Amino acid sequence: MARQPRLTLPGYPHHIIQRGNNRQPIVLDDEDRQCLLDGIRTQAQAARVAVHGYVLMSNHLHLLATPETGEGVPTMMQAFGRSYVRQFNRRHNRSGTLFEGRYRSTLIEAERYLLACMVYIDLNPVRVGMVAQPEDYPWSSYAHHAGLRQDDGLTTPHPLYWALGNTPFARQAAYADLVHAGLSNEQRTQIGQTTHSGWALGTADFVADLQARTERRVARGRAGRPISKQKSD
User: Is 68 domain-assigned?
Assistant: yes
Per the domain annotation, does 232 fall within a domain? no
What is the band of 124 on the pLDDT scale with cuts at 50, 70, 90?
very high
Q: What is the pLDDT of residue 221?
A: 66
**Which residues have CB under 8 Å from 7's CB, separation 6+?**
105, 106, 107, 198, 199, 200, 210, 214, 216, 218
204 lies in some domain: yes
Task: For residue 204, give its domain range.
Answer: 14-211
**Cα distance between residue 72 and residue 82, in whole Å:** 16
Using one digit for the tens of pLDDT, what is the confidence trace for 65-89?
A: 999 999 999 999 999 999 999 999 9
How many structural domains compose the chain? 1
Determine the length of the chain. 233
Query: How do residues 7-44 score in pLDDT, each as one tens digit?
Result: 889 999 999 999 999 989 999 999 999 999 999 999 99
Rounded to two decimals, the pTM is 0.90
- Residue 6 domain-assigned (yes or no): no
Three-state DSSP at 92 gives coil
CATH of the domain at 130: 3.30.70.1290
pLDDT at 92 over 50: yes
